[in-house]
Structures are given as structure tokens and as C-alpha cells.
Amino acid sequence: MEIIQTLLATIVTLGILVTIHEWGHFWVARRCGVQVLRFSIGFGKSLWLRKGKDGTEYSVAAIPLGGYVKMLDEREGPVPEHLRSQAFNNKPVMQRIAIVAAGPAVNLIFAVFAYWLMFVVGVSTVVPVVGSVVPGSVIAQAGVPEGVELVEIDGHRVRSWEEVNLRFASRIGESGALTLAAISSASAMPTYYDVVLKDWNVDLESESPLFAMGIQPYRPEVKPVLGQIIPGGAAEQAGLKVGDIVVEVNAEPIDNWQALVKIIQQSPDQELEFLIKRGTDVRNLRVLPASRQLDSGEIQGVIGAGVTPPQWPVAMLRTIQYGPVEAVGVAFNKTVHMVALTLDSIGKMIGGVISVKNLSGPITIAKVAGASAASGFEPFISFLAYLSISLGVLNLLPIPVLDGGHLLFYGIELVRGKPVSERVQVIGFKLGMALLLSLMTLAIVNDFMRL
């Protein structure tokens, strides 16, 4: 069932984003008087095909990993004399630029709409209160105490852990002072701290910028109450049941879930004696944790049990919501910030500050699409907006084959007053295709390594 849900979420996600991208090209092309021969969502054999009154073939194809708008063009075949004025290649360079740029532009406009919808409906989030500070971390060195609420980073207001994490992410690989403002329960006036960064690097595969800074977010205490028992696991074999409260392990008192997990992880293939409370009964059970090997080579113990989720204090939850008019500006600023962060990340990846191992391909996209769809409306819309921004920005990169490569050639034509030679364009497209295939291969390899 989960596989079907992931597959459907992926098809819906890609279908929406590809459709609006290609519709951007299509709409502007029609406004510029270009004859569109086919509007296709997907590649390969058509599963559905209809010819409209406008003469355009509308198609839904078998491979839902992209799409295309095929326009009348003398470079792709003979064009009758009476239709030459409707050919893409015969349009003024500014019109060709507008047609090519329309796809990525619509992706960015869609992101603004998606964020606007989120903010109008309301975004549920957790107040960014520092639970603990890792000793020796840059946050600890700056003197940031536990229990304070983060309200500002580098002059930008923050109201959720997502916003905090994104602001920290923008400083990866940099040096200098990061200014952080926080308030405490004792005072509503913010206290400012200067966090000194020096070539601050983060291994994004293993930790988030938030944890790399040395901040552990506040979390309600998690009681050692079993909320899930995996069939066939060590917990089920030992007789543990949902609702059991773990009181002791090997005569050591257990006060919270983290303490229980720590003991289990440190005891692969070593029998443990559990003292549990089940209703009014107290009983002893012997549990033999299985072992699993992490990517680092470390062996950990597991018993196949999950925790009962804790209840958050009402004061630690907030809803970020705006009126329809105010939400437009907020959504626009959010989109601009995400575009800037995407470009910054690409630049840092090219410079070697961020590892290329962070590139993701279709498998990761499918997994996140499925997970976000399962989590509800807000996470799915947020993921759609982020992916739409990524699609728009990446398509604008000056790489031949991509929209940005075409815009590069048309920009040169605009300056020179004549088109770039066919020979140069062909060489550029071959190099662009080689680069694109290399990046796609690397992204897919990264996907499989994550599996």
C-alpha cells in the first residue's frame, strides 16, 4: 500500500510541476503567434491523445518524468511557405527569449501561489525553543543558554525550526559573526549573541545545520511507553505489548525513552532483563536485541519497538497565518529566499563547500513525495513549492539543452545582432547533454547509496 501511495504521490507531483512548466512555454508561444504542434506530459508512447481545434495535439505519455512542447520550427523539418511566419525560429529574438523563459518563470510563480495558499490556510509549527546546547559547539561558545526562544537570525525574523534551519544553512562554508537574538520566559526583550563561524562546514548527509550548530531543540519528555511492536521482532518474541511501561532494564531504572534506546543500542545479541508495568501488573521479561550494522560500520542493538508519541504543551505550538492580501508579500519573500538559498547551494557545491553527495535523483524525490503526501496537506504543498523552485532555478542555469542554455544563446544573439552559429550551438548542446547525463547519473547513484 505504501508503494502505491508513493507512486501516486510522485505521479501527481511531477504531473503538476511538468504541466505548469510546459504550459508556460505553450501559453507564451501561442501569444507570440507560434504554431504549437504537440503539448505532451510525459515521454514515449501516448496513453491519451487528442487534437484540439487549434491544431495542437495534446498528449499524456507513458513515462511521467518530464514533458515537452513541440513547436513549428524550420530547423526540425520543412515548413510550408504560408506557415513560415508561425515558425519559432523566425520569431524576433525577444519573443523567443520570452517563450523559453516562460516555463521556469511559471514554476516560480506557482511556488509563490503554493506558499500563499499555505500561509492563508495556516502553517502549524513548533516554537523554536532551545532544549539543550552541545558543550564546545559554536553556539555554546557564544553563550546561548538553554530554554530561550530564537526570534531572529542575521536580522531576519524566525518563528519555526524550519526557518532557523534555513537561515543556518545559508551560512554553510562561511566565516564571520552570525547574529542571533533570543528571548527568555523572564524577559520579552531580546538578547543578542554573536556566533563566530570559521569556514563552518556541515556534513548534510549525517546532520542538519541546526544540530551542527550545537542546538538540540526542546522536546517534551518521552516516557518509556511502547506504542508499536514490529511483528517478528525481538520485542514481540519476548512477549512485550503495546502500552507496556518499561520500569527497569537489568535493574537500572528507566526514566525516559532515550535511556531505554541507549541501553538497547549498546547491547546487540546480549540478553536484557526488562521490568515492565502492564496495567496493574508488574512482570519480568527477557529480551534478546537483534543486531544491525550502520553505514559507519558500528553494530547496534534493536528490538523492533516504537514509542508512544508525547503530547506537546500548547504553549510550544503556534500557527503562522496571514490574510489573503498580506500572504502575497510573505509568499513572495519566501520564494525569493528559497531561490537565493538554492543558487547559493549550487555555488557552494561547485566550489566544493557542499558535497555532491547531496544531489538527489528520482528515487529520493519519490520517497519525499510519498512521505509529504502521507503527512498531510501542508507538507505536500510545501514540498511542491520547493520542488517547483528547484525545477525553475535549475532550468535557468546556462547549460545548453536546458532552458537557460537556450537563453544564453539568444542573449548572445541579442548583443551581436545575429544568431550563434549552428556549429557552436551543436557543440554546446553536446557538452550540455554530457554534463546533464553525468549529473543525472551521479544523482541516481546517490539515491541508491541512500537506500
| Together in a domain, 331 and 449 | yes
Q: What is the pLDDT of residue 296?
A: 64
User: Of 266, 299, 319, which residue constitutes the final position of a domain?
Assistant: 319
* Domain around 211: 123-219+311-319
- Residue 55 counted as domain residue: no
- Residue 59 counted as domain residue: no
| Together in a domain, 272 and 338 | no
Contact between 70 and 36 (Cβ < 8 Å)? yes
| Together in a domain, 167 and 315 | yes
Pairing of strands 252-253, 272-278: unpaired
Q: How many C-beta atoms lie closer than 10 Å to residue 9's C-beta?
A: 22
User: Of 319, 351, 373, which residue constitutes the final position of a domain?
Assistant: 319
Contact between 396 and 106 (Cβ < 8 Å)? no
User: Of 310, 345, 369, which residue constitutes the final position of a domain?
Assistant: 310
Tens of pLDDT, residue by residue over 246-290, are 999 999 999 999 899 999 999 999 999 999 999 989 999 999 999
- Residue 31 counted as domain residue: no
- Number of structural domains the chain divides into: 3
| Together in a domain, 381 and 346 | yes
Does 362 or 227 have the greater pLDDT score? 227
Q: What is the pLDDT of residue 451?
A: 64
Tens of pLDDT, residue by residue over 172-181, are 999 999 999 9
| Together in a domain, 168 and 277 | no
Q: Within 313-421, where are the H helices?
A: 324-350, 362-375, 377-395, 403-416
Q: Is the confidence at residue 65, as pLDDT, over 80?
A: no
Q: What is the pLDDT of residue 87?
A: 92
| Together in a domain, 264 and 171 | no
Percent with pLDDT over 90 in the chain:
67
Contact between 118 and 111 (Cβ < 8 Å)? no
Contact between 445 and 357 (Cβ < 8 Å)? no
Q: What is the pLDDT of residue 273?
A: 95
- Residue 435 counted as domain residue: yes
Q: Is the confidence at residue 121, as pLDDT, over 90?
A: yes
Active site positions, annotated: 22
| Together in a domain, 437 and 333 | yes
Which has the closest alpha carbon to 182: 155, 162, 152? 152
| Together in a domain, 202 and 302 | no
- Residue 57 counted as domain residue: no
Q: What is the pLDDT of residue 28?
A: 96
| Together in a domain, 191 and 315 | yes
Mean residue pLDDT of the chain comes to 91
Q: What is the pLDDT of residue 271?
A: 94
Query: d(Cα 75, Cα 97) in Å, to the nearest integer?
Result: 17
Q: What is the pLDDT of residue 1?
A: 59
- Cβ-based burial of 295 (10 A; exposed 0-12, middle 13-18, buried ≥19): exposed
- Residue 20 counted as domain residue: no
Tens of pLDDT, residue by residue over 140-183, are 999 999 999 999 999 999 999 999 999 999 999 999 999 999 99
What CATH number does residue 248 fall under?
A: 2.30.42.10
| Together in a domain, 270 and 136 | no
Tens of pLDDT, residue by residue over 14-64, are 889 999 999 999 999 999 999 999 999 988 888 899 998 888 999 998 887
φ, ψ of residue 212 to 5 degrees: the values are -65, -30
| Together in a domain, 342 and 411 | yes
CA distance readout (Å), 103 to 22, 113, 187, 264, 351: 6, 15, 49, 52, 28
Q: Is the confidence at residue 6, as pLDDT, over 90?
A: no
Does 129 or 53 have the greater pLDDT score? 129
Provide mean pLDDT across the span 325-331: 96
Q: Is the confidence at residue 295, as pLDDT, over 70?
A: no
Q: What is the DSSP letter of 76?
A: G
Provide mean pLDDT across the span 206-233: 90
- Residue 5 counted as domain residue: no
| Together in a domain, 351 and 434 | yes
Q: What is the pLDDT of residue 305?
A: 93
Q: Is the confidence at residue 328, as pLDDT, over 70?
A: yes
Provide mean pLDDT across the span 330-359: 90
Pairing of strands 156-157, 36-51: unpaired
Provide mean pLDDT across the span 89-108: 96
- Residue 48 counted as domain residue: no
Those residues with Cβ within 8 angstroms of residue 87's Cβ, 6 or more apart along the chain or in another chain: 34, 35, 71, 72, 73, 74, 79
Q: What is the pLDDT of residue 165?
A: 93
